[in-house]
Amino acid sequence: MGEAIFGAFGRGGFAREVMPIARHFLADRPDYGIAPDQMVFVDRQRGDAPVNGHAVLSEDDFAAHPAVRKYFCVAVGDGRLRQAITARALNAGYRLLSLASRHAVVMDAGISGEGAILCHFATITANVTIGRSFNCDNHASVAHDCVIGDFVTFAPGVRCNGNVVVEDFAYLGSGATIRQGTPEQPLRIGAGAIIGMGAVVIRDVPAGATVAGNPARILAP
């Protein structure tokens, strides 16, 4: 039994996408001492069968595992759920990893918090500031001078142009495009806002609002 284990919390579609990224990431970093057979999915309940060759442990099983060092990421799209799982895992003494695909591009960006997951062909360009536990799915991009808050989710193909502020817990759906702001007046996506698939956002989105369409408009309650 190895001294270290890695758990990807979640076993849905996004978690299954993240596990190969984690395998490659840890293969490039043998100092972590995590073999492929010590990489598992972690869910509320134990799985009856492996998923894509990896065991599914319950949170209790993961806690009881004898490994001395326990690393984790949270591969869950809902930012508030991601926050809750992260808090439980950190309180248990596990070590949060940030993961980046070999095919992700990170330029002069600052990722200030742990737990980011940058999937295949994600692109983060110049002078970008990113908070904790940013999930950036395949082919999503963040352009220059953006500020991304904590527990923000970009679904596949999001295009976030420059000078945009995306506040905590916002969710940007697949293919959404965010118009560029200016240094004096950045375009702002409010905390907890949901941007629908394919939406074209040309003005600020209030906190907690759900918008969709081209141009994006607030959906009626």
Q: How far apart are CA 6 and CA 37, in angstroms?
A: 10
* Backbone phi, psi, residue 214, to 5°: -135, 105
Three-class DSSP category at 84:
helix
pLDDT digit string (tens) for 54-66?
999 999 999 999 9
Domain limits, the chain: 4-97, 100-212
CATH top class, domain 100-212: mainly beta
In DSSP notation, 110-167 reads EE-SS--EE-TT-EE-TTEEE-SS-EE-TT-EE-TT-EE-TT-EE-TT-EE-SSEEE-
Half-sphere exposure of 126 (CA within 13 A, CB side): 0
All residue ranges of the chain with pLDDT < 50 are 1
SS (H, E, C) 31-82: HHCCCHHHEEEEECCCCCCCECCECEEEHHHHHHCCCCEEEEEECCCCHHHH
Reply yes or no on whether 144 is catalytic: yes
Q: Does domain 4-97 have CATH number 3.40.50.720?
A: no
Sheet holding 164-166, edge to edge: 109-111, 128-130, 147-148, 164-166, 187-189
**pLDDT the model gives residue 48:** 82
Same fold for the pair 4-97 and 100-212: no
Q: Which residues neighbour 170 within 8 Å (Cβ) at sequence distance 6 or greater?
A: 79, 149, 152, 153, 189, 190, 191, 192, 193, 194, 195
Choosing from 24, 103, 120, 144, the catalytic residue is 144
Q: Tell whether omega for the bond before 215 is within 30 degrees of 0, i.e. cis.
A: yes
| This prediction's pTM | 0.94
For residues 135 and 117, the answer to whether their CB atoms sit within 8 Å is yes
Q: In what order do the strands lie in the sheet with 194-195?
A: 99-100, 117-118, 135-136, 153-154, 171-172, 194-195, 210-212, 217-218
- pLDDT value of position 201: 98
